[in-house]
Structure formats: C-alpha cells, structure tokens
Structure 1
Amino acid sequence: MTKMPHGMSRYDTLLKEALHNCDMAAAPALPQVFGYLLGRNPITGNLDHAEIVEAFIALVDGMQTSALTPGPAEAGQTFFGQFIDHDITLDATSQLGTHTDPATIRNVRTPNLDLDCVYGDGPEASPHLYAQSPDQEGFLLFGREGSPNDLPRNDKGRALIGDPRNDENILVSQIQGAFIKLHNILMSKVVDDAALRDAVFHCAEDGVRSEVWHRMLPEGLERFEKVRRFIRLHYQWLVLHDFLPAFVDQACIDLALRTDPFGADAPIMPAEFSVAAYRFGHATVQPTYDINGHKKAAQLFALHGFGPRGPEWDMDMSLFFGTHAQKALPVGPKMAKTLFALPDNVAHGDADWNGVTIDEVHAKKLGLRNILRDRTTIQLPSGQQVSRHLGLPELPAPTVLADRHITKTPLWFYCLQEAAERGEGRLTGVGGTIVASVFARLLKLDRESVLHLHGFRPWGGFGPRFSCAAMMEYVDDNAHAIHDAKELYCGPATTREAEPAE
C-alpha cells in the first residue's frame, strides 16, 4: 500500500495510465486492448471523502464471515483462475524491470489464452526456460535436486517461468508445474508411442495450413510446436467447459458465445472485468487448505512462494480437483476472515485516500482495497449502471450504503451480491455477462482457438471426461515417462524453511 497507490499491481498501474492519460478515442495508446465497457464514472455528490470511506468500511466489514459454506466449485479452480488471469493480463514492466510508458506502446500483443505464462516466447526467444541439450530440444526446465516437483530456479531461488507471478504461492506454482510436466510428458511420449504421436499431431494440425508445419517452423521445433498447440487447445477447452461453468451461470456463457453482449467494438480487456468482475475469486478463497496427507489446515498466507519449495509441500491434486476435492467458497458477498488482515508483505502501514488517512487495520482489508481501486483509481461504472445497460433488473444498493446516502453499488460488490441472490453461488447477470463475454471474445478473436475447431473433442487419453481433475491425474500417472527428467533440473539444492501448518 505504501509503494503503489492503494495497493495497485503493475497491471493496475498500466491500466490506469492507459485509461486516464490517453485520449482513447482520438489516439488509442493500446488499441482494442484496454478500455471501458461503459465509460468512466467519477465520484459525484455532496458526501466528503471521509464519509465515503466510512461507508465502504462498513460495507466491507459486513462481508467477514466464519461460516464457511462449501460452494459448487472445486478448491483448485480458484487458483486455476489465478493462473488464467496471469495468462491473459499484461504487465507494465518487462521481466528485466525496464519501465514502459503506456502512452508509447503501439504494438502490444493481445491477451490470448495461449499459455505464454508457461512457454514464454518459445525456445528461441526465451531460451532460459528450456533445456539446452540437443537431445532435449523443446523440453521445459523443471524440478531441482532434492525437490523434483519444484519449479526450475536460478541460483537465487527465483523461478524460471514465463510469468514470475505464477510463483507467488505454492498452489498457483504447482498448477504452473502441472502444465510444464504435461508438456514434457507429451514431448517424451510422442517419441515412444506411435499411436499417441498420431493423435497429438492430428489434433495440433487441425485448422492450421499444412505448409505452416513444413515451411515456417525453425528446424527441429516441429515436435515442440505440435505438442504446444495440442496443450493450448486442451487448456482453452478447460477454460470454456470446466473453469467457467464452475463459477459462472451457464446461461451467461451461452449468451456470450452466441453474441457480443457489449458489442463487437468492446475492448478485449475491459476495466470492468479486470478490476471488478474477475476479482470474484477473492470471495471463494478458503482460509486454510489441506495440501497433502501431511500438511493439513495450512493457512493461506503460509503458502507463500517466490523461493525454493521443499517436497513436503507437494500438492495432492485430488484434494483440489475431482470428486473428493475440497470446495471453494461460493461466489457471494462473504469473505473468509483471513482476507481482512493481509500480511505485511501485501499491505503495510496506513494509506492515504484522496486526503483521508486509512489506518493500517482497514488498509489490510482486501475488500476495501478492491472498492477503493474501483471508485478512485479506475472509476468504474456502478453495478446498477451496467445492469441498466444490459437491460437487467437492478439490485438496490445494500442498506449499509443506502443509509449513508450512497445509492450506487461498487461493481465488484454488485457482482458478488448478484451471485448470492440470483446465481446460487455463481456469477450471473452483470458479473456473469462481463466474465463470460471477455473469455468468449478472446477465443473468438483468436482464429486458431478451440472455438473455431467445430469438431474438436478432447483427447481420449485423458479419460472419458476431460477436466482439470483428469489432466492432473494424467500428469501424476505419467510423470515417470519424462525422458531424462533429472537433466531438466535447475536450481539451488537448498530449500527455504516453509511456514508451519496450523
């Protein structure tokens, strides 16, 4: 909270700069990427800032709950959603820390569901992610001595992955690790198993002109590119058919696939999505998780990353995905107590909000940070404004706001309120339409996406019903098949002491 205004991430800072400091209509800095669905909504009215903060604190305090009711989604889907977020959102700085002025950007990549957080820019442009031995060309580095399921790391313990944010906690890092292992498994099996090779290559070649594979690929990378596309297509299928239905009303998904609810000219990455609707995941976080048979009831903020992880923290994926998995909390306006006292490495000290001092106790409340970012940093439309735009019946402002003369609900809270009152623990209405429409549009705009392969069916080798659970089970069952796995190890032999489980 002290280094960036209101705890903003670098992505938030980029978004703010792009939206506020550029005339998007006259000279768009980030054409068709960032923007509003409805436009800016600055604070108006006669209430002073202290009164507004007081009202928002009262709203957030009413969200805290100890009644942890399981929701419809598996616990792992919360962190798969975080992994997806890191795949589709852009960062304001390069991995080398070079500052980028958003006003100077003209040719920014679109935020596709392409797993660049796993693959980077491929073996030629991101060689630090890949094995250097000619015998393992196209294999991703993975594991290290003493911890074979940890991410590859440099000698300082930093993860060598496409997006460093995927090492921020041990749950997201191991979802990242599962995709790396899946790649290396398939890279090995397409050599050993002719039937599997035919299935993988046939899937990868679907919808791509044959000359692409024979004329446009660097020498020696055909196997890599076909395995990568095979995994990308299955990942996109998981987002559309496993992740989204876990958290979003299916009617909203179907509508977004049939049409563009916000129009064909809507921004690819709307502020209403990234700052409000997609932050629904905060309400689904459990305060503790059973990691495996030994690490039980581990507190969320003990699961920190950004350093070497020991094998005692290896996740039992069946506890996070599948029939016997722990459950995420339902999407709704209630949050676990853990998120009302963020650790010092996330929020530390008092905060200043338009001249109003917010003491550290309140500054550590994640819900308040979300709402203040919404109302002042990005200035999003209210939930009622978006609802009216979509022709949906409006929910009234919560009593705690209405009694303080605030009649419009911050969009993030409105999406959660809808989920509880109308969505049975899933996003619906405004929130469901925003989230579903963004993912549908990402897939529609990518001409090579799974959405354009009308006969696509997941590979039968994953089992009768493809899902995150099926993929994780396949990875666990076949990790032994990776060729020369120890040759892919990278990182220090020592492991940082982990926080004890409660």
Structure 2
Amino acid sequence: MTNVQHGLSRFDKLMEHCAKGTMRMDPRKLPQTFGRLLPKVSNPLQWSGELQDLAEIFNHMIDPMRAVDNDDGPAEAGMTFIGQFIDHDVTLDATSTIGTQIDPSFIRNVRTPALDLDCVYGDGPEASPHLYVNVNQNPDLEEAEGFMLFGRKDNPLDLARNDQGTALIGDPRNDENIFVSQIQGAFVCLHNILMSYKQDDPHLDEEMDDFVDAGMGSSNWTDKVVPKLKDFNAVRQFIRWHYQWLIMKRFLPAFVTESAIIKAQHPDAFPSDAAIMPVEFAGAAYRFGHATAQIKYALKHGAEPIGFFTHHGFKRRPVEANLDMNMMFDIGGETAPRARPVGTKVASPLFELPFISGPIEFPGVTLENQLARRLPLRNVLRDRLALELASGQQVAQHLGLNPLPVPEVLAKHNIEKTPLWFYTLEEADASGQQKLDGVGGTIVAWVLLRLLRLDKTSVLHQPGFEPWHGFGGKDMTFGSLMAFVEKHRDKIKYADRLQAG
C-alpha cells in the first residue's frame, strides 16, 4: 500500500464525516496539495516600499553569489542529481505560474507525497502502460510482463522515447539534463536486471521474495496484487526500500549536519497538522541543491569537462553524452569528483539560464530578460512575491534556534528579515561544515523523514532492515548501487525488444 492509498483512505474517512455532518470538507487539507509548515505572516520582511525597488535590492544581495570556478564540497558530484531525482519523486507543481501569487494549499502536487519512485514506475503497468512492454501487441513477450521500456537502437543507454523524442518516463523532468536522465535510466535498468534474475536465478528469486515477504509481514501482500504482476511488485518494493534507506543513511548525511538531522527526528519539530508537502521545503529549503551544482563536469575519465548546459535535455541523447557513473559517485575505492559545498555561492551558469528568452512578471515586479535568467533571483522573488514564505529568522525562532543577523545589503534598507532560501545557505556558511544546518537542515530532514513515517510500508517501518548483500549490505551507497547496475546491465532479458525511439 502506498501513500496514495493512504490518501484515499483518509479521503474516504473525510467524506464519511462530511456525510454525517461532523466536519466540513476542506480540499486544502488533502495530502496531494501543497501547504505550509508555519502560518503565513503578513509582511514578514517588514518592507513598505515599492516592490520593484525590493527586487533591485534582492538583485544586489545575490550578485556576490556568482561563482566562476568549480569548488569541491564533501558530497559526491552525483548527489546533486540524486537530490533532483528525489525532488521529482515527491513534488510536481504543474498548475501555478512563477509570477503568480497563489495560496499553496490550492496547488495540486502531481507526484505522490511519498518516496515511492513513482517518477520511475508511474502508477504501474496497468495505469501507466506507456512505460512498460506491451504484451498485447507482442504476445511472444508474454514473459516480459512488468519489464520497463529502456534504450534506443541509436543509443542503448538512452531513455526509451516516442517518435518525437520525448522520454517515456514517470516524470518528464527527469530528462531535463543529461545527469538526472542517466540516474533515471539506472533505476529503470535496475528494475529490469532484477526482473531478469527473478526469471533465471531461482536462488535470487527466492531470496528477493523472502526479503519482501519478511518486510510486508502479515499483510499477505501477494493476495492484493494481480498474479501476473507478482514479480513486478516484489521487485518494485525491493528497490523502494533500498532507495529509501539510501536517502536516510547516505543522502541526508551528505547534505545535512548531524545536529539538524537529530533535531528533525523529533516528530513535533513542526506542527503535527502541517502540510505533507510544505512550500517552505519545496520552494526554499530543498532548493539548496542549486548551490551544489558545479560549473563544468567531465563525463568520462580523461575527458574535457563540459559546461552544465552543454547538452540540453528533453531530446534524444547522443552516445558521446553517455556518462561513466564513476565520474559521479565513489565506486570501488575510487574517489569521484565532488559537488559544490552548500553555501552562498552558486555556479555562474545558473545566473544565465539558457531556456529563458523573455521578461517575467511577478506581482508588482517586472524582470527583464537578463534578470529573469538569474535562478537565485527567481528563487528569492518566488519566495517573497508568489509563495510569501516565513522568513529564515521566523522559522529559527519557532525551532528555538539563535537567528542569524540580516545581511547588510538588506539591513541598510531597513529590511528586518531574510528570505528563507538565502537564509538556509547562510546557515551552511556559518556552520563551517558546508552542509545545511539549523532551519534549512531541519526542514529538509524533517519533511523527508516524515514522508517515511507516514508511509506504513516504508523502510522506516521494517525493523532490522539491512540492505541486500548484492548492493553492498550495510555499506551500500548510491555508488555501489550504480556499480551493480553497470556490472549486470548486459544480463537484462529482451533488451533489444525493450527499446523505443
């Protein structure tokens, strides 16, 4: 059972209460909308001047953030794109516009608010058939029921695509750059590898089923799935638990200080009725990932590093853009390049977004093209003028933390509070650990851990869980998972028949 089903159960209960007249139905409380951690505060920055002037002040604030050289932090380079992949697993606002002021509780979250890999699997073979082999069209592939489409004849390592080159994946954003695209592809391949081994390796088949049976306990989960998709569901659950474990044990420690993770483990760090997917997370704190992107990346050992936007996404990937995963993750004792440290420096390409070609309107503010291409400025203005988030100091006060002072560039204009996104990056600088701390770290860790607590089938509810020895056991990392995929990719059955586009 996934969190979507939890949401439907809650919906049914709400409807039952409504029918009895015991409570009024409020669509803003449903789990698949955004919302807030803390109540909206009127004029949180204490600014009373013209908004266009405020935008200019913010522009001066973000000017010194521009970094023109790579800088190495503690995390592996690929963790930046794992963070993007996780974001695409739990959030998708497909309705609001960046310059539009809107109540977050009326913004639908298209993704399930769970770490369930729906960005890979969609809603499964029956509800998202475009992601899977079509056994009705190919009856000779009946044994491939539940395998996922992957690869093209021109590039077997690219994502499967339709005739227009659009990737056939659970979340289209996972094709927006060549790095997250190949992480998406690795998870698809991992699924197909394990499906293949379930058919050809009786020992591994039994081992995986025992693993899932033990975790699902008395739920008799096999009675609740379509018999022909039993293997599919077992593999999906197997991969989900390892993915969730990696988020808890590898991703969070890579980017969040230990003290913030400890603080976030208290379930009441924020109100118990706070939104499952709060805009303080999606619109501010989790955007720390923008600060960890490097200016250039080498795709292979000895290759010349290329600019972040050299290979645009959303199109067929050429073979020369295929990535060696040991350039993203530590594999086999070899140290990979690093991500930028979390802090108030952002790679210069993110000040010049190539896909922005015109001005953007915010309430009371117009950004001409040159300024509209500045991602840090867009982040701050979205915070203040569209989502109206609590300030960093206000969240710090709620958490009982000593707030940071307001940056001088704001203070000299009598602005008394700091926009939340910028504040979380200042905290990382102040911590000296090159990671999220305090407000930012607590928000990020609290939201992700809470998603796992709310999903009663997550790895958090599997006592004594230890990763499978094939992925590295208790020493499993994202690198060892990627190494498993690379080592076993040629074992995928029906590989040529799974290609499209």
TM-score by length of 2: 0.87
Structure 2 residue aligned with 1:225: 233
3-state DSSP of counterpart to 1:457? coil
Report matched runs for 1:36-185 at 5 Å.
Answer: 36-43=36-43, 44-92=46-94, 110-132=112-134, 133-185=141-193
- Pair 284,353 (structure 1): closer, same or farther in 2 beyond 3 Å: same
Structure 2 residue aligned with 1:366: 375
The 1-side partners of 2:200 and 2:413 are apart by: 68
The Cα offsets for residues 116-174 of structure 1, whole Å up to 9 and x where unpaired, read as: 11111111111111112202111001001020000001111111111111111111110
Shift of 1:209: 4.7
The Cα offsets for residues 79-130 of structure 1, whole Å up to 9 and x where unpaired, read as: 010011000013436xxxxxxx999999987411000111111111111111
Q: Does residue 1:487 correspond to 2:489, yes or no? A: no
Structure 1 residue aligned with 2:99: none
The 2-side partners of 1:277 and 1:109 are apart by: 19
C-alpha RMSD of matched pairs (Å): 2.2
Structure 2 residue aligned with 1:341: 352
- Pair 360,107 (structure 1): closer, same or farther in 2 beyond 3 Å: closer
3-state DSSP of counterpart to 1:118? helix
The 2-side partners of 1:398 and 1:102 are apart by: 27
Query: Identity across aligned pairs (percent)?
Result: 52
The 1-side partners of 2:208 and 2:87 are apart by: 27
Structure 1 residue aligned with 2:322: 314
> Residue 260 of structure 1 contacts residue 437 of structure 1 at CA under 8 Å; is this kept in 2?
no
* 1:204 aligned to which of 208, 212, 220: 212
Structure 1 residue aligned with 2:340: 329
The Cα offsets for residues 53-76 of structure 1, whole Å up to 9 and x where unpaired, read as: 121010010111235321011110
> Residue 36 of structure 1 contacts residue 272 of structure 1 at CA under 8 Å; is this kept in 2?
yes
Shift of 1:318: 0.5
Structure 2 residue aligned with 1:357: 366
The Cα offsets for residues 320-349 of structure 1, whole Å up to 9 and x where unpaired, read as: 011421111100011111111111x2x222
Structure 2 residue aligned with 1:21: none
> Residue 301 of structure 2 contacts residue 327 of structure 2 at CA under 8 Å; is this kept in 1?
no
> Residue 112 of structure 1 contacts residue 443 of structure 1 at CA under 8 Å; is this kept in 2?
yes
Structure 1: unaligned runs, 5 residues or longer? 1-24, 94-100, 492-502
The Cα offsets for residues 298-322 of structure 1, whole Å up to 9 and x where unpaired, read as: 1111131111112211110001011
The 1-side partners of 2:449 and 2:248 are apart by: 8
- Pair 165,311 (structure 1): closer, same or farther in 2 beyond 3 Å: same
The 1-side partners of 2:163 and 2:169 are apart by: 14
What amino acid does structure 2 have at the position aligned with 1:472? M
The 2-side partners of 1:392 and 1:104 are apart by: 31
- Pair 432,105 (structure 1): closer, same or farther in 2 beyond 3 Å: closer
Structure 2 residue aligned with 1:477: 487
The Cα offsets for residues 423-476 of structure 1, whole Å up to 9 and x where unpaired, read as: 511001000000000001000000000001121000011125101000000000
The 1-side partners of 2:199 and 2:295 are apart by: 44
Shift of 1:35: 1.5
The 2-side partners of 1:172 and 1:214 are apart by: 33
What amino acid does structure 2 have at the position aligned with 1:325? A
Structure 2: unaligned runs, 5 residues or longer? 1-23, 96-102, 135-140
Farther-moved stretch of structure 1 (434-443 vs 128-137): 128-137
TM-score by length of 1: 0.87
Between Structure 1 and Structure 2, how many residues are aligned? 458
Shift of 1:294: 6.7
Structure 1 residue aligned with 2:467: 458
